[in-house]
């Protein structure tokens, strides 16, 4: 199929170390219990029970590991599966404190889980080798078997090595394993719950000794929770939509992959494809899929089927299909596509006939983007040999000639100050990958963390900035972090909508690859309206006994007015905010962290959005609760700040803090004075304040200091 071909021949392109294969091996004639299959092939075996008739099940409502079940740890470190009824799986783990509530049907009465975080606390990284296994099951009266369970998981750290396996055995020793990850990429959460259904009729029907197991290996952190296991008579008709594909199509018929933002000036037709599998016992006839596109008003504007007629699928066979007619538009709007697998039969499990839903924007702004959502961090050091001078980028192809202005990259919040980014745009001339245009190096400052940073590109020779149609351009950065001792990470997007071989490029030691993650890099063409830029450095800590207050500031490259919103990841109940109308926003915690139930070492998340009416930037960060007033701050133009007299009676002076924000807190953590832009010598009246101890916090864009003062009468 065209979707699996590289867009352009890059002779040095090979599959990246971390990339995922979409190929599904077929089962051999004799079962190999040491090999992993997604859905093994099998012969058609008739059965005589009606679909859905129950055979066996387990909802873990007994308060412990079920009778006859066993757990084992191949590392012999007691890293075992365990019974839990915590609302959020692995909540006590190092990296899983922000997990969602497990939404399995009977999660409230308990479930089984494995928590790599608990076993790898404190920075360790022992890979799991752990299983939970059922008692022996007798299926000698069954003639068809379908297994189903609900799960929620996240895994680390390499998609090639990680093993989240469901296994079956007829002797309790040798296992045939199925990959239970359902194409979920590394380091992002699965659906919650995700339902797994596998037709096991060819392997287990009629067997008098059967064991099932769930095994985690080759992965260290995060968690895997399972619940509500059901075994029942398999369906006659079960067509499943496995994978879906979205790509733009150039004028020469090449595919370019998915774009989340597409300038109207660069509009291209859209291709849709899908893989379908027959997971029912009987043949499926007239198999096809529908791709339906809706506009922002939810009007159906496109409804097409694949270019196939009269296709028949036998059990476990796969159809790779693509649309007969591409979707095209010349209207600025947001579009959404949904896929449906169809056939002549009435499907007995229709819920998995749908999937692959995705949306994209056609805009009058000349910004190209592939990113759907930020899912984590990305840098060359994730790969063998990755280091200073390596390059990571996102691929773009134009429909019409234009000029490039700049690139915008999302700097992950876990980066530290001092890393150096060198912006570049490469192009593929058919035989080599060549630099097209570059920009000046950018040293990462604290204000850049968790935001989009725009870096201009500077033409040296004539037409350096001119980009031509149907040419592969790679927009990205060279990384320099090892020699300066700083962490430097871009944001990444590994949503399954992407065709990674068309969307990504990474260069390690001069060799070119593609990977299974898209770095968050946008290509800004001539006259693009660029995102606002934050000018305030974040305060990443909140003393437990003070009400956290923070003012973010931003400027707009086009001098457009800005509006702000704040998201606090706690249903909006944690933080209130005021848009000051002057390019700044002030947010305030609802109470002291201690009164809100946070302990020292806990953290909460805040995201501030600055909007110029066309593009949006964000400032994203974790705020860690610390003891008393020991907040972490930068070093320090505020080192010479003076707060006096101490004790004070009627007037308090703050010197050497021009343009700083000054907050005075009482012992309850309430803000009793708030100066937004202090004079070089600021005079603060405290005559009406009750005698006692007060905290003065002085904050600039890059620094903050804390002073304790007493007021007497």
Higher pLDDT, 366 or 31: 366
Among 168-172, 374-378, 448-452, 638-642, the least confident range: 638-642
Compute the average pLDDT of residues 137-149: 92
Please give the structure tokens belonging to residue 475: 């927009």
Please answer whether residues 202 and 43 qualify as being in contact, where contact means their C-beta atoms are separated by less than 8 angstroms.
yes
Q: Report pLDDT for 93.
A: 58
Distances (CA, A) of 323 to 41, 252, 317, 326, 653: 27, 17, 20, 7, 72
CA angle (478 as vertex; 474, 480 as ends), nearest 5: 165
User: In the predicted model, what is the mean pLDDT of the chain?
Assistant: 86
Cα dihedral 305, 306, 307, 309 sign: negative
Distances (CA, A) of 692 to 595, 628, 651, 666: 21, 17, 14, 8
Give me the CATH topology for the region 371-525: Jelly Rolls (2.60.120)
Higher pLDDT, 430 or 488: 488
The CATH number given to 636-713 is 2.60.40.1930
Q: Report pLDDT for 637.
A: 57
Higher pLDDT, 303 or 631: 303
C-alpha–C-alpha distance, residues 484 and 388, integer Å:
10
CATH 1.25.60.10 for domain 531-632: no
The string of pLDDT tens digits covering residues 5-23 is 233 323 233 323 222 222 2
Give me the CATH topology for the region 48-232: Jelly Rolls (2.60.120)
Q: Do domains 239-364 and 531-632 have the same CATH topology?
A: yes
- pLDDT-derived band at 43, boundaries 50, 70, 90: very low
Give every CB contact of residue 188 below 8 A, 6+ residues apart in sequence. 154, 375, 376, 494, 495
Q: Report pLDDT for 37.
A: 34
Quote the DSSP letter at residue 203.
Answer: H
Which residue, chain included where needed, has tokens 């399995």? 104
* pTM value surpassing 0.85: no
Q: Report pLDDT for 472.
A: 96
Under DSSP, is residue 593 helix (H, G, I), strand (E, B) or coil? Answer: coil
Which of these, 224, 136, 113, lies nearest to 179 by C-alpha position?
224
Give every CB contact of residue 267 below 8 A, 6+ residues apart in sequence. 328, 329, 330, 362, 399
Please report, for the chain, the start and end positions of each structural domain, with discontinuous segments joined by +: 48-232, 239-364, 371-525, 531-632, 636-713
Please answer whether residues 301 and 293 qualify as being in contact, where contact means their C-beta atoms are separated by less than 8 angstroms.
yes
Say whether pLDDT at 633 is over 60: no
Q: Report pLDDT for 161.
A: 84
The string of pLDDT tens digits covering residues 201-230 is 889 999 999 999 999 998 888 899 999 999
Say whether pLDDT at 41 is over 60: no
Q: Assign 3-state DSSP to the chain and report helix, strand, coil percentages, each to 5.
A: 5, 45, 50
- pLDDT-derived band at 2, boundaries 50, 70, 90: very low
Say whether pLDDT at 599 is over 60: yes
Q: Report pLDDT for 4.
A: 28
Say whether pLDDT at 118 is over 60: yes
Give the residue ranges of DSSP H helices in 168-303.
201-204
Q: Report pLDDT for 641.
A: 86
Say whether pLDDT at 94 is over 70: no
**What b/e readout covers 532-559, taking b as 16+ CB neighbours within 10 angstroms?**
bbbebbbbbbbbbbbbbbbbbbbebbee
Distances (CA, A) of 552 to 12, 346, 701: 45, 56, 8
The string of pLDDT tens digits covering residues 514-572 is 888 899 999 999 999 999 999 988 888 888 888 888 889 999 999 999 999 999 877 77
Please give the structure tokens belonging to residue 186: 């590394």
The string of pLDDT tens digits covering residues 643-699 is 989 899 899 999 888 888 888 988 777 888 988 888 888 899 999 999 888 888 888
Q: Report pLDDT for 516.
A: 80
Please answer whether residues 525 and 366 qualify as being in contact, where contact means their C-beta atoms are separated by less than 8 angstroms.
yes
Q: Report pLDDT for 38.
A: 37
Please give the structure tokens belonging to residue 429: 């001339």
Q: In this structure, are strands 36-37 and 176-179 parallel, antiparallel, or unpaired?
A: parallel
Which residue, chain included where needed, has tokens 């774009």? 259
Q: Report pLDDT for 432.
A: 87
The neighbour count for residue 5, using CB atoms within 10 Å, is 12
C-alpha–C-alpha distance, residues 316 and 39, integer Å:
7
Say whether pLDDT at 160 is over 60: yes
Which of these, 181, 178, 111, lies nearest to 153 by C-alpha position?
181
Q: Report pLDDT for 300.
A: 98
The string of pLDDT tens digits covering residues 239-262 is 999 899 999 999 989 999 999 999
Q: Report pLDDT for 13.
A: 31
Give every CB contact of residue 284 below 8 A, 6+ residues apart in sequence. 237, 239, 278, 312, 313, 343, 344, 345
Task: Tell me which of 2.40.30.10, 2.60.40.10, 3.30.420.40, 3.40.30.10 is the CATH number of domain 239-364.
Answer: 2.60.40.10
**What b/e readout covers 606-642, taking b as 16+ CB neighbours within 10 angstroms?**
bebbbbbeebebbbbbbbbbbeeeebebbeeebeebe
Under DSSP, is residue 480 helix (H, G, I), strand (E, B) or coil? Answer: strand
- pLDDT-derived band at 184, boundaries 50, 70, 90: confident
- pLDDT-derived band at 176, boundaries 50, 70, 90: very high
């Amino acid at each position: 199929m065209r979707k699996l071909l590289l867009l352009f021949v890059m002779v040095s392109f090979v599959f990246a170390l971390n990339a995922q294969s979409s190929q599904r091996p077929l089962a051999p004639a004799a079962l190999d219990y040491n090999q992993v299959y997604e859905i093994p092939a099998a012969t058609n075996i008739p059965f005589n029970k009606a679909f859905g008739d129950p055979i066996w099940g387990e909802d873990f409502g007994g308060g412990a590991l079920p009778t006859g079940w066993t757990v084992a740890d191949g590392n012999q470190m007691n890293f075992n599966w365990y019974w839990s009824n915590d609302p959020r799986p692995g909540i006590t783990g190092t990296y899983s404190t922000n997990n969602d509530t497990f939404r399995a049907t009977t999660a409230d009465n308990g479930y089984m889980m494995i928590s790599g975080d608990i076993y790898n606390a404190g920075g360790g990284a022992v890979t799991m080798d752990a299983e939970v296994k059922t008692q022996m099951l007798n299926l000698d009266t069954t003639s068809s078997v379908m297994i189903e369970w609900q799960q929620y998981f996240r895994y680390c750290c390499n998609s090639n090595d990680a093993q989240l396996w469901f296994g079956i055995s007829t002797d309790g020793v040798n296992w045939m394993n199925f990959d239970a990850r359902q194409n979920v990429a590394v380091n992002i959460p699965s659906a919650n719950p995700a339902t797994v259904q596998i037709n096991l009729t060819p392997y287990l029907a009629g067997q008098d000794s059967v064991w099932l197991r769930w095994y985690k290996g080759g992965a260290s952190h995060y968690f895997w929770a399972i619940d509500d296991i059901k075994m029942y008579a398999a369906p006659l008709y079960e067509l499943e939509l496995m994978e879906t594909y979205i790509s733009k199509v150039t004028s020469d018929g090449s595919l370019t992959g998915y774009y989340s933002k597409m300038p109207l000036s660069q509009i291209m037709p859209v291709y849709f494809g899908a893989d379908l599998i027959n997971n029912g016992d009987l043949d499926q006839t007239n198999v096809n899929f529908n791709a339906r596109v809706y506009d922002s008003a939810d009007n159906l504007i496109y409804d097409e089927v694949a270019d196939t007629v009269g296709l028949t699928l036998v059990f476990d066979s796969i159809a790779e299909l693509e649309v007969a007619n591409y979707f095209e538009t010349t209207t600025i709007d947001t579009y959404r596509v949904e896929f449906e697998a169809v056939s002549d039969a009435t499907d007995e499990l229709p819920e998995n006939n749908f999937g692959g839903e995705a949306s994209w924007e056609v805009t009058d702004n000349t910004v190209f983007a592939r990113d759907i959502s930020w899912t984590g961090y990305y840098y060359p050091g994730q790969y063998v040999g990755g280091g200073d001078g390596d390059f990571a980028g996102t691929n773009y192809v134009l429909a019409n000639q234009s000029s490039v202005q700049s690139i915008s990259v999302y700097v992950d919040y876990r980066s530290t100050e001092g890393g150096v980014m060198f912006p570049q745009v490469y192009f593929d001339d058919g035989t080599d990958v060549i630099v097209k245009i570059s920009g000046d190096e950018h040293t990462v400052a604290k204000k850049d963390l968790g935001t989009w940073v725009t870096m201009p590109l500077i033409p040296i020779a004539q037409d350096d900035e001119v980009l031509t149609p149907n040419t592969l351009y790679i927009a990205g950065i060279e990384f320099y972090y090892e020699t300066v001792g700083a962490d430097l990470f871009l944001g990444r997007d590994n949503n399954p909508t992407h065709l990674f071989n068309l969307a990504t490029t990474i260069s390690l030691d001069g060799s070119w690859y593609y990977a299974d993650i898209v770095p968050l890099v946008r290509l800004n063409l001539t006259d693009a309206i660029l995102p606002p830029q934050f000018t305030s450095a974040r305060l990443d800590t909140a003393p437990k006994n003070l009400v956290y207050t923070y003012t973010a500031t931003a400027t707009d490259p086009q001098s457009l007015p800005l509006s702000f919103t704040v998201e606090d990841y706690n249903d909006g109940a944690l933080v209130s905010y005021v848009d000051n109308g002057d390019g700044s926003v002030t947010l305030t915690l609802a109470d002291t962290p201690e009164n809100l139930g946070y302990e020292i070492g806990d953290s909460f998340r805040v995201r501030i959005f600055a909007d110029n009416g066309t593009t949006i930037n964000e400032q994203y960060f974790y705020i860690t609760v610390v003891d008393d007033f020991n907040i972490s701050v930068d070093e320090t133009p505020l080192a010479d700040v003076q707060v006096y007299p101490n004790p004070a009676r009627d007037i308090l002076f703050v010197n050497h803090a021009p343009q700083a924000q000054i907050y005075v807190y009482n012992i309850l953590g309430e803000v009793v004075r708030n100066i937004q832009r202090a004079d070089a010598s600021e005079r603060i009246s405290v005559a009406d304040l009750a005698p006692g101890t007060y905290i003065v916090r002085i904050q600039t864009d890059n620094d903050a200091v804390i002073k304790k003062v007493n007021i007497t009468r």
